[in-house]
């Protein structure tokens, strides 16, 4: 099947094929998806990169031209493409899929691209290096474990921002993940590692990938989407 002939139902079936696989198999899945990833996520209205970047930008007052950005789970480079339009220039990307990194390299926007499987390998970033650390998606059951958020915080400079967006996917595992994540975010705040700089909740994070195209046509717009949240934190100036 040619890329141009992929239907919405084909895409949903393809995405579902990755359910329940282990992390190594999941990265092979993303390797196979890399070349058509951007056009496919547009098909199901994935808004995570836009939501994360827009919320960060609206709360950021620094000099964008000098800012060092760590783009975690960078995929094909959608976040960097959006941020460069807003004046950000310096990007380092991390992803677990070499296929995705190969596509990101084609953008010419990253000074470094690093291969690392979140949660299995340490985040390849020096402590206290980045003005902005951003991850859009990936914070979900079967992807990056909750423990990764401490690594994101560690990579940020004191006073730097950590921006995270995630969707409220269905299922017990996803629900438990959200509870564990928000418990960890709160614990890190209580430990003085960072303070909340903003929270943006949306009813339209992305179209529900489990709906068939016929079902999508039947539902009103507000029922076709899953909700999601953008979390923005500012690292404590007293943190290392």
- Give the separation between CA 228 and CA 111, rounded to whole angstroms: 30
Q: Is residue 222 part of a domain?
A: yes
Is the residue at 188 inside a domain?
A: yes
The verdict on residue 240 lying in a domain is: no
State the average pLDDT for the chain. Answer: 89
Q: What is the pLDDT of residues 220-230, one digit of tens each?
A: 766 778 889 99
What pLDDT, on a 0 to 100 scale, did the predictor assign at position 12? Answer: 76
- Does the structure show a pLDDT above 60 at 29? yes
pTM to 2 decimal places: 0.91
Q: Determine, yes or no, domain membership for 117.
A: yes
d(CA 48, CA 72): 13
- Domain hosting residue 191, numbered range: 3-235
- Tokens linked to 101: 């990194």
CATH of the domain at 211: 3.40.50.150
Fill in the DSSP letter of residue 118: B
Pick from 177, 150, 178: which is nearest to 235 by CA? 150
- Looking at the domain assignment, is residue 28 inside a domain? yes
Q: Distance between CA atoms of 10 and 88, rounded to whole angstroms?
A: 36
Q: How confident is the model at residue 198 (pLDDT cuts 50, 70, 90)?
A: very high
What domain count does the chain have?
1
Phi-psi region of 119 (alpha: psi -120 to 50; beta: other; left: phi over 0): left
Residue 166 lies in a domain: yes
Query: CA triplet 107, 112, 117: central angle to 5 degrees?
Result: 100
Average pLDDT rounded to a whole number, residues 121-131: 95
* Cβ neighbours of residue 26 closer than 8 Å, sequence gap 6 or more: 18, 96, 142, 143
Residue 118 pLDDT level (bands cut at 50, 70, 90): very high
């Amino acid at each position: 099947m040619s890329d141009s002939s992929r239907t919405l139902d084909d895409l949903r079936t393809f995405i579902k094929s990755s359910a329940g696989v282990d992390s190594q198999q999941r990265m092979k899945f993303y390797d196979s998806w890399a070349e058509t990833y951007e056009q496919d996520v547009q098909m199901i209205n994935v808004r995570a990169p836009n939501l994360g970047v827009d919320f960060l930008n609206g709360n950021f007052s620094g000099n964008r031209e000098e800012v060092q950005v760590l783009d975690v789970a960078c995929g094909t480079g959608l976040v960097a493409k959006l941020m460069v339009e807003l004046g950000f220039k310096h990007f380092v990307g991390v992803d677990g899929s070499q296929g995705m990194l190969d596509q990101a390299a084609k953008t010419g926007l990253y000074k470094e691209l690093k291969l690392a499987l979140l949660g299995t390998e340490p985040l390849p970033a020096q402590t206290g290096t980045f003005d902005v650390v951003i991850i859009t998606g990936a914070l979900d059951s079967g992807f990056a474990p909750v423990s990764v958020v401490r690594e994101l915080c560690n990579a940020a400079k004191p006073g730097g921002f950590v921006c995270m967006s995630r969707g409220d996917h269905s299922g017990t595992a996803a629900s438990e993940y959200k509870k564990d994540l928000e418990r960890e975010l709160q614990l890190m705040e209580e430990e003085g590692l960072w303070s909340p700089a903003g929270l943006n909740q949306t009813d339209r994070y992305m179209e529900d990938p489990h709906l068939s195209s016929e079902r999508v046509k039947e539902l009103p717009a507000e029922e076709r989407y899953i909700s999601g949240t953008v979390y923005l934190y500012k690292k404590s100036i007293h943190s290392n």
